[in-house]
Amino acid sequence: MLNTEKAFSSANSYFQTFINILRFNKIDPRVVDRFQYGFINFRVDA
């Protein structure tokens, strides 16, 4: 269980970095939000 938590937290930090890169590159915020929403749903489902 703990290893799963660690994996999720590291995946989440990588993902936040990815989101920040998208925002920095002036990607459409709706696209960024869709990525974030999909990732949150993935975390809930897993």
> Is the confidence at residue 46, as pLDDT, over 50?
no
Tokens for 37?
A: 């929403």
What global pTM score does this model have? Answer: 0.37
pLDDT tier at 1 (50, 70, 90 boundaries)? low
Residue 4: what pLDDT?
72
Cβ-Cβ contacts under 8 Å for 3 (sequence gap 6 or more): none
Highest mean pLDDT of the ranges 13-17, 24-28, 38-42: 13-17
3-state secondary structure 15-32: HHHHHHHHHHCCCCHHHH
The residue-averaged pLDDT of 21-38 equals 74
pLDDT, the chain, mean: 72
